[in-house]
Structure 1
Amino acid sequence: MVTLQPAARMGWDTISAVVARILAAYPVYSILLSILSILALSAGLVNIRLEPDIRKSFSPEDSDAGYETRVWLEYYGLKIYPERAFCIFTAKSEDGSILQEEALRDIYTVDTRLVQAVGLRDGDGRRNCDPLCDLNSPFHLLANQTRKNNGTTAVFTYPDMPYSGLDIFLGLHFSNVDFKPPTHRISSRSLVLWYFSRSDTPEGKLAFKDAIDELFDLSKNSSAFENVEFTIFSDQVANREMIRGAIEATTLMTIGFFLLLTQVIIVIKRLSSIKMTAYLVTTSLLTPMAATIASFGAICWMGFPSFSIQCVTPFLVLGIGVDDAFILLHRWKHHIAISDTPRRLEQVIVDVGPSITITSLTNIIAFGIGFFTPTPQMSLFCLTASLALLLDYIFTYTILAPIVFLCNDPTYQSVPKDETISKADTWLAKYSRFVCSLRGRIVCIFVLIGMYGLTTYGVMTMRTTFEPAKAFPSNSKLVDSLSNIKPVFNRYFPITVIVNNPPNISNEIEYDSFHNMMNRLEHVPGIRGDNRSLIFLPQYEAYDKLANSFSILLGDKYRPSYDSLPNWMDAIGNPPLVKYHLDENNKTIVTSFRLTLLGKGMSEWAERARAMQHIRTVLREEQQFNATLFDCDSAILSIILTVGTDLIGSIAVTVVCMAIVCFVFIANFNAVAVITSIIASICYAGSFPSGLQDHNSDPPNTMNAIYTAILVASTLAYSAVAWIGLSMDPTASEDLF
């Protein structure tokens, strides 16, 4: 089978022989002990904890996104992250407007239902939406103005609407806007309304959930409203739809399971007697399944949560576990001439040990290293897979091998090879001779050059991004919601910045330094400049200047200060723009405030991720203001820019682990180099998109690529080491297949 290092072979063969003798002497005890171990580990499943929060699956607590979220929560006085939802309304008629009275009635039907849910008060009298209850005030102000003036307003500009001395920004609500300055008439094809719910009480959480579920079901009915089309997106629905997608994907994967079952039956039928086929097929499939269940139980015993992505683990382990079963059964049949069954098992274990160990150990190590990746769902997926593969490796010896031993049929006789030669065997023999011929080698070289060329082109043109619609089933209404929100995000996208060490606006140098920071932020690619950011200071300064107008008339030079801030905040209704207090001298001390940068073209997640990174860089360099940004999706954005590096690193780790393990067992250094280059070549060509495909480098595709690399490495390793074992045989080209 595999040529080993002399010392390694002696030691491994001795260990394998001892293991085989123990299994042959106590096969039933080995099986029972393994089953008890499976039951003990699987008992942990009673404590299984499914993590439904998408954000927690992408970003650890100690990441930039985790820190920024904690700062944001502290600013608003929240203990847990609130649940969010947004509703998108689009006028049904081509020339219609969502500001027409008929459309407004439909919109207010939805808005009233959600306002009722988020307006529920807790025992302390706080509303479920506090302190973010006024997110839709700009829409309500405009709607009231429009209703009063039949679609026109006396003094109006877009996207800012003057109201009671303030400029109310409308850009976060309306898209496809038609504003005609001469007539001051505004119309808009679509509207977005935003809702937040603290949901930190069971009653508040249930009220918001009931409202969201009711409206989500309503959005599935296209004729629910006569004048507007309505879609809704919420964290609750997104988590639920993501889990539904995982369940549907698992259901589709069961088709692959039945195809695998068919293949296992066909192969094992050729390797054993008819009456033993059922036992061997069942064991070959149940062994990796039991290992997977036990690994999930072990994860639960450790106190880790489970993520939806882990549902692919059984199919990964099945693919590798069945390979090991085929190898074991093939060698059992190969040594049919050995009549002494314990001696036969010993020879089989000695033969297959290196091959099974190389493939299993490589994957165990590769996934084990993956546990240290910062992304929680990737980390736990790798840990679960590593444990499952380790247990499957053990159970291959302690369950499958004893059952093969017990199912030995002394009456079974293998069909002589020269009596029946199938067409497939004839074709494979011809193919192997062609591949090893000069003409075949030339053809292979040109094919490889073409594949490498296409793959390289695909890698060079591959975009790093993320399409959230991929996380949900294709028939989910959330896909429509995400599509409808893109025009809004492309025009105006809010990026919150919390300034925890505000400038002293009375200090000209300090205030100029703050303006310099704002200027740098507004020059970040993708961020709107020209003082387009939403910050309270300009409007407050105008109020403060008006409050000090008498002293200015007397000739005093105006110097801005926070002294008028309490009165100004009272005048505008005390929104959560600024946090301040009065000191012992009755002087206003501002401790922190919120500002909003406005992005453009942010429906492309890669652009958002790059903008976030640039903003973080500016804020770190302007550390005197202790400012942090916040984006609701920063947990996902933080991994987008590193996904390509993570992909290359994961595949490189797999290949290196395979090379190291192979070198331990295989004596020929050149052979290890050949095996490693073959595995790296196939991982490169198979894991990256070719030039004929339009793929992006995003987390789902990264998972697919890593999954492919692991399966390729495990499948190819045995073929490669088998070839090395046959390389000393002059007829190797025919025996390979």
Structure 2
Amino acid sequence: MIHLIYLVPGVDNFSAEDVGQELEDALVKRLNDSDLVEANLQFSVFSLRILSREIRKNTSYTFPYISITIVLLVTFTVASCMTADWLTSKPIEAFMGVISSGLAIIAAAGLMSYCGVPYISQVTVMPFLALAIGVDDAYVMLGAWQETDRDDPPEKRLSATLREAGSAITVTSFTDVLSFTIGVFSTTPSSSIFCKYVAAAILFDYAFQITFFAGIMVLGGRREQSGKHALYIWRSLEAKQLRKVRRTGYVGPTQQFFGVTYAPFLTSAPVRGLAIALYVIYLSASLYGCSLLRPNLTPSELLVDDSPVKHYLELAETKIWSEGLIGRVYVSAAPDFGADKEALERFWRFVEDLENTPYSMGRNSTQLWLQEFQTYWQYFSDDQSQFYTALKGFLRVAFNSHWNDNLQWAPKPDDPQKSYVNKFYFTTGFQVKDWNARTKLLIEWRNITKSYPEYQALVFDENNFFSDQVLQLPSSTLNSVGIAFITMAAICVLFIGNIQVIGWVMFCMLSMDFGVLGIMALTGAELGPTTVVNILMSTGLSIDFVSHMGYSIYRAEHSDPDERIRHALGSIGWPIMQGGLSTLLAVISMLLVKSEVVRLFAQTVILVVVIGMFHGLVLLPVVMRTFTFSSAAPPPKKRNHHVMHSVDSRAPLAIDDILSADR
């Protein structure tokens, strides 16, 4: 194996970037010539420009699968919104719920393009995520509609629907938007851009849900009121079937299962005990996994599986780096070596410190003009004041002239008639085995240059920016998640007027974040930019499962705790299940994409859904039934929708209580 490194300067009026682009294109073209291919030689050309181009392939590899996602989502959404009759079934409304999410995606992409936000490969997964979130809101709206009185006119049914579901999707939409808005301020550019796109998509989806989709529901209500077929809307249903489905109190099959069958089973003492025991095991494994999480960034993970650059990066990590690489040391404020010998001696101590790190290759790897010049100088003069005069003579020698490219001359500050070297650079070798070692080496370099501030020195390696991101990941991730948690708690306080419900909802959200992080770490994931995006995404998605259930329990008008759980599961259990299953269908096709970063995203979403449904449909009802409610608890006040009710002692005034009152 031969590893060649080219440092490409600018030529005439052409910048180094332009020359580098031409050189790369010429190299790739030459290496693909038939004579080299027939010689059975393998070549890899690498630069940051090539790496960026290869990363963008994730987009073209992922987009074809969005058609599969749309087909799966439409099929499931329509099928899951069918009931036992053709009057209350909502196939057209369900389809329009998917269309509403699609409009939000288009609007978000258009806004970001108008604002000049660049499109990067990570944004490719945004439509999958936005579709899942948008369709989830449609399920909640349709579920609330089915709970309304079928004898009421459509306009009144919409009012009741928005009173129940409007607040719920407002909570989840605002928390999702805030979660990703916080990610906008991430120090990692790719994470920031991704979060901008997703936050905009969720915001547009919310706007379309309460306007466009609400109008679709009213049209569906008028069709239902007139007794028309749910699919063949021009056909009227038989009078016998209409009388059956219009009976007040008719319970659909999903409500029957979650409210009548599942809820009593879940609230029984043995099942609650088993659920809590399983949760203790889950939490222990999650916390252990979190302790294993380490920051790391491996560019090869950002590439598609068949990228030629991936082969080079694997060779670099396993062989090239351990053999030795070159670091360039730029001295921006060189001392006056002609003034005294102490300046020269101190500078040599600086060089020795760089040569003696745990990752350095020593003095023999250093290429510094001072080394050869001092050998030359000792034969001509011992007068320190003649240092730069001798240096000019040294550089005029043909085989020393190449050092001129490393030096910059300037007039002396105290004697402008004379010149000295005010800036220069040199190189030194180092050996590392992986990206974590590179990050530790960067810290070593910066600590050394900090010890010699008068030189304003910088040790440069083209991959330093990767290490910089690794250094910032732990703190930026904790800050983002912490701020997201606090803002979500604030929103829950505004919309859920019971401090105990809020506490358990936030506890479950924190538990889900720990679970996602811990299980990802146990499966070998490391803390990189992709993981940070996944963490922010899981923080936003996870709140949906528990906030819907918590809000429904809070709104339940029963004194008996088992009845409150039964009512909540009966009304929101199936929409939560629909949302989870539709999210799985939205990302399942991404597991087929030949890209590790895309597959990791899909795996994270699947993990969030599984953990989220466990917390929303099992853990939250169990802990609230076990630790919050008691049979002696007073019933919540009956909500009177005709007059404004006063604040009772059980909870602070919630915005929902105000919005739900007729003015």
Task: Name the CA shift for 1:227/1:360 in 2 (closer, same or farther; >3 Å).
Answer: closer
| Amino acid in the other structure paired with 1:521 | L
| Amino acid in the other structure paired with 1:485 | A
More helix by share: 2
Task: Name the CA shift for 1:392/1:430 in 2 (closer, same or farther; >3 Å).
Answer: same
Equivalent in the alignment of 1:592: 423
User: Cα deviation per residue 1:325-358 (whole Å; 9 max; x = unaligned)?
Assistant: 1111111122142431211111111121210110
Q: In the aligned structure 2, how far is the partner of 1:272 from the partner of 1:612?
A: 67
Task: Name the CA shift for 1:301/1:230 in 2 (closer, same or farther; >3 Å).
Answer: closer
Matched, 1:614 2:444: yes
Q: Where does 1:568-587 land on structure 2 (aligned, <5 Å)?
A: 568-570=394-396, 571=398, 572-575=400-403, 576-580=405-409, 587=418
Matched, 1:653 2:472: no
User: Cα deviation per residue 1:446-470 (whole Å; 9 max; x = unaligned)?
Assistant: 3222222222222222232111111
Matched, 1:458 2:256: no
Selected match of 2:311 from 475, 480, 485: 480
Shift of 1:209: 5.3
Aligned residue for 2:428, secondary structure, equals: strand
Aligned residue for 2:421, secondary structure, equals: strand
Verify the 8 A CA contact 2:258 2:566 in the aligned structure 1.
no
Q: Where does 1:151-230 land on structure 2 (aligned, <5 Å)?
A: 190-194=2-6, 196=8, 198=10, 200=15, 204=19, 207-208=22-23, 210-215=25-30, 217=32, 224-226=37-39, 228-230=41-43
| Amino acid in the other structure paired with 2:484 | T
Verify the 8 A CA contact 2:112 2:197 in the aligned structure 1.
yes
| Amino acid in the other structure paired with 2:59 | A
Shift of 1:202: 10
Aligned residue for 1:712, secondary structure, equals: helix
Q: In the aligned structure 1, how far is the partner of 2:40 from the partner of 2:64?
A: 39
Equivalent in the alignment of 2:624: none
Aligned residue for 2:360, secondary structure, equals: coil
Q: Where does 1:670-681 land on structure 2 (aligned, <5 Å)?
A: 670-681=500-511
Matched, 1:564 2:390: yes
Aligned residue for 1:451, secondary structure, equals: helix
Q: In the aligned structure 1, how far is the partner of 2:151 from the partner of 2:32?
A: 67
Task: List gaps (5 residues or longer) in structure 2.
Answer: 229-241, 574-663
Aligned residue for 2:328, secondary structure, equals: strand
User: Cα deviation per residue 1:643-674 (whole Å; 9 max; x = unaligned)?
Assistant: 23333333333322221111111111111011
Verify the 8 A CA contact 1:320 1:715 in the aligned structure 2.
no
Equivalent in the alignment of 2:332: 500
Equivalent in the alignment of 1:239: 52
Task: Name the CA shift for 1:324/1:512 in 2 (closer, same or farther; >3 Å).
Answer: same
User: Cα deviation per residue 1:462-498 (whole Å; 9 max; x = unaligned)?
Assistant: 2321111111101111111112223121221222121
Shift of 1:205: 6.9
Q: In the aligned structure 2, how far is the partner of 1:501 from the partner of 1:468?
A: 34
User: Cα deviation per residue 1:291-339 (whole Å; 9 max; x = unaligned)?
Assistant: 2222222223223322222222222222211111111111112214243
Shift of 1:713: 1.6
Aligned residue for 1:592, secondary structure, equals: strand
Verify the 8 A CA contact 1:367 1:382 in the aligned structure 2.
yes
Task: Name the CA shift for 1:513/1:201 in 2 (closer, same or farther; >3 Å).
Answer: closer
Verify the 8 A CA contact 2:166 2:210 in the aligned structure 1.
no
Equivalent in the alignment of 2:61: 248
Equivalent in the alignment of 1:153: none
Shift of 1:405: 0.8
State TM-score, norm by structure 1: 0.67
Matched, 1:683 2:513: yes
Verify the 8 A CA contact 2:329 2:427 in the aligned structure 1.
yes
Matched, 1:536 2:369: yes
Q: Which is further off, 660-669 or 603-612?
A: 603-612
Verify the 8 A CA contact 2:101 2:131 in the aligned structure 1.
yes
Verify the 8 A CA contact 1:499 1:592 in the aligned structure 2.
yes
Task: Name the CA shift for 1:280/1:201 in 2 (closer, same or farther; >3 Å).
Answer: farther
Equivalent in the alignment of 2:497: 667
Task: Name the CA shift for 1:317/1:401 in 2 (closer, same or farther; >3 Å).
Answer: same
Task: List gaps (5 residues or longer) in structure 1.
Answer: 1-89, 91-189
Q: Where does 1:62-461 land on structure 2 (aligned, <5 Å)?
A: 90=1, 190-194=2-6, 196=8, 198=10, 200=15, 204=19, 207-208=22-23, 210-215=25-30, 217=32, 224-226=37-39, 228-252=41-65, 254-270=67-83, 273=86, 277=90, 279-408=92-221, 409=223, 410=225, 411=227, 414=245, 421=253, 426=257, 431-461=262-292
Q: In the aligned structure 2, how far is the partner of 1:505 from the partner of 1:205?
A: 35
Q: In the aligned structure 2, how far is the partner of 1:663 from the partner of 1:419?
A: 32
Verify the 8 A CA contact 2:182 2:484 in the aligned structure 1.
no
User: Cα deviation per residue 1:606-634 (whole Å; 9 max; x = unaligned)?
Assistant: 22122213322332332111112222122
Verify the 8 A CA contact 2:8 2:19 in the aligned structure 1.
no
Task: Name the CA shift for 1:684/1:400 in 2 (closer, same or farther; >3 Å).
Answer: same
What is the Cα-based RMSD across aligned positions, in Å? Answer: 3.2
Shift of 1:388: 2.0
Q: In the aligned structure 1, how far is the partner of 2:303 from the partner of 2:327?
A: 25
| Amino acid in the other structure paired with 1:579 | Q
Shift of 1:505: 2.5
Aligned residue for 2:427, secondary structure, equals: strand
Task: Count how many residue pairs are aligned between Structure 1 and Structure 2.
Answer: 538
Q: In the aligned structure 2, how far is the partner of 1:492 from the partner of 1:664?
A: 58
Aligned residue for 1:407, secondary structure, equals: helix
Task: Name the CA shift for 1:701/1:337 in 2 (closer, same or farther; >3 Å).
Answer: same
User: Cα deviation per residue 1:536-568 (whole Å; 9 max; x = unaligned)?
Assistant: 21112112223x0xx5xxxx5778823232333
Equivalent in the alignment of 2:378: 545
Shift of 1:675: 0.6
Matched, 1:714 2:544: yes
Verify the 8 A CA contact 1:496 1:597 in the aligned structure 2.
yes
Shift of 1:444: 2.3
Q: In the aligned structure 2, how far is the partner of 1:197 from the partner of 1:259?
A: 53
Verify the 8 A CA contact 2:449 2:458 in the aligned structure 1.
yes
State TM-score, norm by structure 2: 0.74
Aligned residue for 1:642, secondary structure, equals: helix
| Amino acid in the other structure paired with 1:210 | D
User: Cα deviation per residue 1:75-118 (whole Å; 9 max; x = unaligned)?
Assistant: xxxxxxxxxxxxxxx3xxxxxxxxxxxxxxxxxxxxxxxxxxxx
